[in-house]
Amino acid sequence: MPSLKDLRNRIASVKATQKITKAMQMVAAAKLRRAQEAAEAARPYSQRMGAVLANIAQNVSGDDAPRLMAGTGADSVHLLVVCTAERGLCGGFNSQIARLARDHARKLLSEGKTVKIITVGKKGADILKREFGQFIIDHFDLRGVKQLGFVNADEISRKVIALFEEGAFDICTLFYSEFKSVISQVPTALQLIPASAGGEVEADSGKGALYEYEPDPSVILSDLIPRNISVQIFRALLENVAGEMGAKMSAMDNATRNAGDMINKLSITYNRQRQAQITKELIEIISGAEAL
């Protein structure tokens, strides 16, 4: 049975923790609004980019298609780009993305494929290196970045494209968490290379409309596909930031509530033990007085 002093110290410690979790919840709520606006603003651009690629790809035959779209013709070597947060205290946000990438890697390895991994974010690297440390070929640390920008995504994109041009892999898949709401972030896998032209064709293009492309459609695609890869990575990073703030807000809210419940239970235990001690002392005083 802990003493009254131990209970007082523990109550004070839990109250201090509750103040920290409440402050972190408020900070996450403030950052969530900006992050959510940035993620939602990036979606129309990436979707429009997919529609443009789909329209142009219809006019390109298989032989004229750029290598980034046609691929190498093989699928023996897979590159996984896993984007997670740099910090923890956000519930299962990071572990869900890492679990999706880990399950995909295990499936590929069981089929006899070669797996290579690029991690973006410290938490994903820490989780994956326990089992797939030998497959991690590069890591991007964004902890020193004050404001996430397109230049950060473009740096990752250039690295991926350079590896593809060197023949280091055949298929590249991007893993991130799509922001749905404060309590819902969906781990997502998106194939970057070979670039998919599966976007919806523009609805206002009209039936039978003829387009003349200058320069050649294959040349346009050669310029647009690398940019589209950067755009998709940038969108993934923005979605991750919004998802991280939403998950952190929920996690810190739960931690604050749990701390409050623990304080109430400890206070009840403290009061009961204090009352029992006072009653015991009164009985001893009365018994001593009667003995005299």
90 is known as an active-site residue: yes
Q: Does domain 32-250 have CATH number 3.40.1380.10?
A: yes
Looking at the DSSP assignment, which residues form a beta bridge with residue 186? 178
Among candidate residues 90, 127, 224, 238, the one labeled active-site is: 90
Residue 212: per-residue pLDDT: 66
Contacts of 256 (CB under 8 A, 6+ apart): 18, 21, 22, 25
What is the sign, positive or negative, of the torsion defined by CA atoms of 178, 179, 182, 184? Answer: negative
pLDDT score, position 205: 47
Average pLDDT, the chain: 86
Q: Which pLDDT score is estimated for 52? A: 80
Which pair of structure tokens corresponds to residue 195?
């670039």
pLDDT (0 to 100) of residue 213: 64
Give ranges for CATH 3.40.1380.10 in the chain.
32-250
Compute the distance between CA of residue 232 and CA of residue 48 in angstroms, rounded to an integer.
12
List beta partners, residue 115: 78
- What residues form DSSP beta bridges with 136? 117
Q: Quick check: 193 and 164 in contact, CB under 8 A? A: yes
Residue 117 to residue 123: CA distance in whole angstroms: 14
The ranges of the chain with pLDDT < 70 are 59, 61-64, 196-214, 292
DSSP class of 3: -
What is the C-alpha to C-alpha distance for residues 58 and 67, in angstroms, rounded to an integer? 16
Q: Phi, psi (5° rounding) for residue 183?
A: -105, 5
Q: Please, what CATH class does the domain formed by 4-21+252-291 belong to?
A: mainly alpha
Q: Where in the sequence of the chain do the CATH 1.10.287.80 domains occur?
A: 4-21+252-291
Supply the angle between the helices 217-291 and 150-165 in degrees, to the nearest 10.
Answer: 120
The span from the CA of 182 to the CA of 29, in Å, is: 9
How much is the pLDDT for 245? 92
Instruction: Give the global pTM.
Output: 0.83
Residues whose CB is less than 8 angstroms from the CB of residue 274 and which lie 6 or more positions away in sequence, other chains included: 4
